[in-house]
Amino acid sequence: MFAQPQQQELSAPVDYPRPHLRRSNVLREIIETILLIAIVYTLVNLATVRFYIEGPSMEPNFYRNQFLIVSRLNYLFGEPARGDVVVFDPPGDDTPEPLLIKRLIGLPGETVEIRDTQVYINGTLLDEPYTNEPCNITRCPNREWVLGENEYFFMGDNRNNSRDSRVFGVVTRDRIIGEAVVRYWPIQDVAIFSGYRYSSSSE
């Protein structure tokens, strides 16, 4: 005869005490969230500027009633480049001037010349595929500007409808606010963009 194995009694599970979890402080979390939002908002405002297009001077690339984000950081860590679309405080009298948006054409130390309604940099014709239409002789008379240290020359893409360096002269580095990088309104016009990039050979 075979001995039947004895069935082992199952012992009851041991009830180990659970670790005590501290209840989160709701008020503290709300305050921390508010502070974080305030810090992020402050940093965004320090790094960027919102800009509103009011006139036709940058057509066909920017139109009236469009809203842009302008980066201050681009020129904090780098220098303005030809072809950039820049927001700046134009030179004028003691009364506050509204900020303007134009394209950067001439850099420090260069000679900007308008000859037969076309733009030349140091005697070389500048390729400008971004312009709206050929400039007429009234708006682009023959003239020359020699830029000094920290001086920049700006022109609108819509040359026949733009108040720019042809009127108020060169713009110093300290008046430059930043580079336009994002168009965020109207919603159908949302875009991330950069200025026209010239190769070193074409400059």
Among residues 11, 24, 57, 201, the one annotated as catalytic is 57
Does residue 98 have a cis peptide bond before it, meaning omega lies within 30 degrees of 0? no
Residue 162 appears among annotated catalytic residues: no
Helix (H) or strand (E) holding 153: strand 151-155
- Tracing tokens 């950081």 back to the chain, one arrives at 73
In the set 11, 71, 102, 165, the catalytic residue is 102
Close Cβ partners of 105 (under 8 Å, ≥ 6 residues apart): 82, 112, 119, 121, 126, 153, 154, 155, 165
Burial of 51 (0-12, 13-18, 19+ CB in 10 A): buried
Q: Which residues of 58-95 are buried (b: 16+ CB within 10 A; e: fewer)?
A: bbebbeeebebbbbbebbeeeebbbbbbbbbbbeeeee
Q: Among this protein's residues, is 102 annotated catalytic?
A: yes
Q: Which residues are catalytic?
A: 57, 102
